[in-house]
Structure 1
Amino acid sequence: MMLAVSYPLLLLVIGALLLLGSWAPMMLRRLPLSLPMLCLLAGFGLSFTNLVRLPAGPLGDGGVAEKINEMIVVLALMEAGLRLDRRFSLRRWASVWRLLLIAMPLTIGTLLLLGHYALGFGWPASLLLAASLAPTDPVLAADVQTGPPGAGEDGETRFALTAEAGLNDGFAFPFIVLALLLERGVADIGHWLAADLFGELAVGLLVGTIVGRAVGYLLFELPAIKLSNTGEGLAAIGATLLCYAVTLMLQGNGFVAVFVSAIAIRSTCPDDAFHVTMAEFSAQVERVLVMLILLVLGWGLGSGLLQAITPMGVCVALVLIAVIRPASALIGFAGSREGRYARMLIGFFGIRGIGTLFYLQYAFNRQPFAEKQAIWAICSLAIAASVFVHGILSKPAMARADARRLQNQEG
């Protein structure tokens, strides 16, 4: 991603992003607007000026944008894990397993079939489309996620959406790898299942647990000096990068490892206020990077990124948000104790975002796909639609859910 922009203008944009990232959340609290919406609109508007110029295919080519998005996702995973007050257990996290093991595979399967039979893509490209769009995003979902660490239980809806977004990036990534292998014609399903899926997940779980326990000890329980006494939120970034790097070196699933490490850190001295400091610092760094990426995405939307989309592609992008994800989640929650309104919210607020951009960049930077432009167009439209539809509806819907939960507690 190369920006043809003057140095003073670049400084101006960075300064404006920093100020906007600090000011906008407070100002937009009572409005049906979100910071991602403003960034997309700003980028879209810039596409009609000569202030910023990007080369053709800026979102899919080059490793810089891929690495930025990768860092955004891992920081978001750390933040999401630190925000969860609920202790981990198979029973307490039942809603998450329903989303990961039922709703997500149904979404991938449905999109896979639509990609091949409705859009005419080859099976590898269809799988890439499905795996890129199936997971929800931990980055753009602040309005539907749990509050800061120590804020207490925010209800099953917020918990399920936060924990799902923290885990499903890691569960989707092996299917991106499978799409690449299929496109190259070298896919060995047995090896993929053993190594790329279950093997990497196991390594990620193990490394995440070990690193999280070790970092938690250093932060909160070290006899000589507890690092939490320093009050440096930078520790969260260090823990994120350390865990992610070690897992990659051991050929494990880094996304799963980072989220699991965050859960392990959160379980260490859970009442310590330093958890809030780390989560807030991660969110601040992540927010600035997200704003930059969304400006670029908005620029792309106004500069031809959607040229390759077809009417059927538009339908697939919109049906994913309005039908496929909600229906898959409702099926996943069949027989559960969750109320109808909670199920509907969990199903509807499956927000798409930065993770999808990273998956596509990862795939296209390693393997050419004939369907590349069409896939970019569909995914970009789905992200934009999610940003606006979910951004407008999330605050009133979640406010109603919170009110119902408090009413039930009082009753």
Structure 2
Amino acid sequence: MPDSALYEQVLTGLGAIILMTAWVPMVMRRMPLSLPIFCVAAGAALFALPALRPFAVHPLQHPIAVERLSELVVVVSLMGAGLKIDRRAGFRRWAITWRLLGVAMPITILLVTILASSLLGLGIATALLIGSSLAPTDPVLASDVQVGAPGEGKEDEVRFALTSEAGLNDGAAFPFVNLAIALAGLSFGTRAFEHWLLVDAIWKLLVGIGMGYAIGRALGYLTFHLPNIAKLSRTGDGFVALGAALLAYGLTQLVGGYGFLAVFVAALGLRHASRDHRYHHRLHEFAEEAERLLMMLLLVLFGGMVLNSGLLAYWDGRTLLFTFLVILIVRPFAGLVSLGGSRTPWRERLVISFFGIRGMGTIYYLAYALNQADFPEPERLWSIASLVVLISIMLHGITATPSLQLLDRWAARHRSAP
């Protein structure tokens, strides 16, 4: 096939994907399906075509590209998640989030690491990498269970918990990924552990939070509080959200902090600089549109990889059992333990605990770690992580809409009861 014809086919496919990005969510709004499911299925079908099959390559063939693309979509998603949270930050107001971060995530990492070691026979460093990559819930694929746009009022406890958790735990999981990388080195002694504890587990987290707070406050002032003629909000440009996300991420990474954490904290700072300003809607709309487009492109590629690149070539019965244990037992158990003793109704606890969606964050962490250190059997690691992501997309995508509809009806009856 001539190069020009192939190029035109690619343009045609991109055009179709962009149009589907706009249309599919409207069609599926009331259906027990989700846009990610559609994207993966479309990718599997498209890359099965003989002309496109050579482009369905394994992530290990282009490891840097996989890391950077997944990194970008997570950054954009974190900005969108922070911009749409109406609730002010605070220890009590965010109590459910702290429970999920401080209890559910460490339990998940521990249990998944144990399962990966005992059931899959992975070494401690590799098992910890799988555990820390699969622990954080995904801000990219969880839009169906997140809060609504700024000021819409669609911020019940379940949606707030899942949005705020996804916004923070991508950064909070980084120390454990770095620990796995350190353990994969030739030697890991007392000094290496001290460095990890002081630098990776404490200093980088503090830098991420501090940089995010400072950048969010600065951008909030520039956007809403300068003299009227100089306010960024007067531009009406939604791409300011993308600029803010990249600025917060890039600056924080340059000074040695966790950029994911900084992006979400900066988004919260920008959101609350002028809570009721209508410009927030434009910022959120652009961030959401950019996130959806990037997500759709990457999931189409993921669908093509799943069936046509050997991405799942190393899975077996134990891997399948591991996948279902992680999704159906470990995350729900960890979530329920973390919410024990809270005032959250049991129905809401079940929903929050069940929807521990895995996605782009998992892909990024695995790609990042494999680019930083030599882990044994990288093809098998990609098969394990990809199977978990694939099953999560399907299972959580099918159950998200009906689950939240049932929860909303129960909440409405509870409010109307005498």
TM range (shorter): over 0.9
Pick which of 256-265 and 396-405 moved more: 396-405
Show the counterpart of 2:230. 225
Q: Which amino acid aligns with 2:19?
A: L
Matched residue, 2:55 = 54
- How far apart in 1 are the matches of 2:338 and 2:51? 47
Per-residue CA deviation, residues 47-100 of structure 1 (Å, 9 max, x unaligned), is 432131236523663312211110100110010011100010000101001111
What's 2:139 paired with? 138
Deviations along 1:226-246, one digit per CA (max 9) or x if unpaired, are: 211211001001111111111
Structure 1 match to 2:303: 298
Distance 1:59 1:385, change over 3 A: farther
- Of 276-285 and 4-13, deviating more is 4-13
Distance (Å, rounded) in 1 between the aligned partners of 2:287 and 2:177? 26
- Which residue pairs with 1:11 in the alignment? 11
Q: Secondary structure at the match of 1:179?
A: helix
Is 2:20 the counterpart of 1:20? yes
Post-superposition CA distance 1:265-297 (Å, at most 9, x none): 111111111111111101111111111111111
User: Could you tell me which of 204, 215, 219 is aligned with 1:215?
Assistant: 219
What pairs with 1:322-401 in structure 2 (closer than 5 Å)?
322-401=328-407
**1:308 lines up with 2:314 in the alignment:** yes
Code of the residue aligned with 1:94 in structure 2: it is A
Question: 1:60·1:360 contact (CA, 8 Å) conserved in 2?
Answer: no
TM-score, length of structure 1 as denominator length:
0.96
Distance, in Å, in 2 between the alignment partners of 1:51 and 1:34 is 28
In structure 2, the residue matched to 1:180 is 181
CA change 1:44–1:108 in 2 (3 A) is same
- Extract unaligned runs of 5+ from structure 1: none
Q: Deviations over 1:83-138 (max 9, x none)?
A: 10001000010100111111110110001111111111111110110011010000
Does structure 2 conserve the Cα–Cα contact (< 8 Å) formed by 1:155 and 1:405? no
Equivalent residues of 2:39, 2:296 under 8 A apart: yes
Query: Given the alignment, which residue of 200, 203, 209 partners 1:205?
Result: 209
- How far does residue 405 in structure 1 lie from its aligned partner after superposition? 2.4
Which secondary structure does the structure 1 equivalent of 2:127 belong to? helix
Output the CA distance in 2 between the equivalents of 1:377 and 1:126: 14
The AA in structure 1 aligned to 2:333 is A
The whole-number CA distance in structure 2 between the counterparts of 1:145 and 1:368 is 36
Asked whether the 8 Å contact 2:47–2:55 carries over to 1, the reply is no
Distance 1:21 1:59 in 2: 28
For 1:294 and 1:251, locate their aligned partners in 2 and report how far apart those are by CA, in whole Å: 30
Displacement, 1:388?
A: 1.0
Amino acid at match of 2:290: V
Structure 1 CA distance for aligned equivalents of residues 287 and 211 of structure 2: 21
Could you tell me how far apart the structure 2 residues matched to 1:266 and 1:145 are? 16
- Deviation digits for residues 170-199 of structure 1, max 9, x if unmatched? 011121111111111344111101101110
Aligned-pair CA distance for 1:367: 2.2
1:85 touches 1:153 (CA, 8 Å); kept in 2?
A: no
Tell me the matched-pair count.
409
2:305 and 2:203 mapped to 1: Cα distance?
Answer: 37
Inter-partner Cα distance in structure 2 for 1:265 and 1:252: 20
* Inter-partner Cα distance in structure 1 for 2:280 and 2:261: 20
111-120 or 396-405, which moves further after superposition? 396-405
Mark the CA change 1:346 to 1:55 in structure 2 (over 3 Å): closer, same or farther: closer
User: Distance between the aligned counterparts of 1:153 and 1:8, measured in 2?
Assistant: 42
Aligned to 2:239: 234
Alignment check: 8 A CA contact 1:167 1:256 kept:
yes
Amino acid at match of 1:213: R
For residue 214 of structure 1, what is the amino acid of its counterpart?
A
Report if aligned partners of 1:98, 1:333 keep a CA contact under 8 Å in 2. yes
Write the letter of the residue equivalent to 1:346. Answer: I
Partner of 1:168: 169
Match of 1:83 in 2: 84
Q: How well do the aligned residues superpose, as a CA RMSD in angstroms?
A: 1.7
Q: Are 2:154 and 1:150 equivalent residues in the alignment? A: no
Instruction: Give the secondary-structure state (helix, strand or coil) at the position aligned to 1:184.
Output: coil
Partners of 1:228 and 1:387 in 2: CA distance: 36
Question: 2:57 touches 2:305 (CA, 8 Å); kept in 1?
Answer: no
2:255 matches 1:254? no
- CA drift of 1:43 comes to 1.4
Partner letter of residue 401 of structure 1?
L
**Whole-Å separation in 2 of the counterparts to 1:399 and 1:194:** 45
User: What letter is aligned with 1:233?
Assistant: G
Identity %: 43
Q: Is the 8 A contact 1:155 1:402 kept in 2?
A: no
CA–CA separation in structure 2 for the residues paired with 1:68 and 1:391: 22
3-state secondary structure, aligned to 1:402: helix
Gaps of at least 5 residues in structure 2 are none
1:243 to 248, 262, 265: 248
Aligned to 2:36: 36
| Amino acid in structure 1 at the alignment position of 2:11 | L
Report if aligned partners of 1:86, 1:153 keep a CA contact under 8 Å in 2.
no
| Residues in 2 aligned to 1:366 and 1:190: alpha-carbon distance in whole angstroms | 20
Secondary structure of the structure 1 residue equivalent to 2:230: coil
> Which deviates the most, 193-202 or 398-407?
398-407
**More moved, 321-330 vs 51-60:** 51-60
User: CA shift at 1:368, angstroms?
Assistant: 2.7
Contact 2:56 2:305 in 1 (8 A): no
C-alpha distance in 1, partners of 2:305/2:93? 42
Q: 1:272 aligns to what SS in structure 2?
A: coil
Q: Which amino acid aligns with 1:216?
A: G
Q: Structure 1: how far apart are the matches of 2:161 and 2:330? A: 18
Partner of 2:289: 284
**In structure 1, C-alpha distance between the alignment counterparts of 2:51 and 2:341, rounded to whole Å:** 55
